[in-house]
Structure 1
Amino acid sequence: MTRKTSAREVTDALKDVDFPAGKDELIDAARKAGASRDAVAALRGIPPESYANREEVARSVRVDPASDLGTSPAQRGRQARAGGKPGQSQHLRDAPKPPVQEELDRERP
Structure 2
Amino acid sequence: MITAHTSVPEVLAALKDVSYPADRERLVTAARAAGASDEVVRALRGIPAERYAGRDEVARSVRVDPGPEPGRTAAPRAVRARKGGKPGLAQHLWEEPKTPIHEEFDR
TM over 0.5, yes or no? yes
Alpha carbons 2:43, 2:64 under 8 Å: kept: yes
- Structure 1 54/25 Cα, relative in aligned 2: closer, same or farther at 3 Å? same
- The count of residues paired between Structure 1 and Structure 2 equals 71
2:30 aligned counterpart, secondary structure? helix
Partner of 2:6: 5
State how far apart, in whole Å, the 1-side matches of 2:62 and 2:54 are. 13
2:85 aligned to 87, 91, 101, which one? 87
Matches within 5 A, 1:1-109: 1-64=2-65, 87-88=85-86
Per-residue CA distance 1:68-97 (angstroms, 9 max, x = gap): xxxxxxxxxxxxxxxxx76346xxxxxxxx
Give 4+ residue runs of structure 1 displaced > 2 Å after superposition: 85-89
Deviation at 1:3, TM superposition (A): 1.5
One-letter amino acid of the counterpart of residue 25, structure 1: R
State how far apart, in whole Å, the 2-side matches of 1:88 and 1:21 are. 26
Per-residue CA distance 1:37-68 (angstroms, 9 max, x = gap): 00000000000110011111011010139xxx
Partner of 2:76: none
2:31 aligned counterpart, secondary structure? helix
State how far apart, in whole Å, the 2-side matches of 1:14 and 1:88 are. 27
**TM-score normalised to structure 2 length:** 0.60
Deviation at 1:12, TM superposition (A): 0.5
RMSD: 2.2
State how far apart, in whole Å, the 1-side matches of 2:62 and 2:21 are. 16
Gaps of 5+ in 2: 67-82, 88-107
Aligned identity (percent) is 61
1:55 aligned counterpart, secondary structure? helix
Gaps of 5+ in 1: 66-84, 90-109
One-letter amino acid of the counterpart of residue 14, structure 1: L
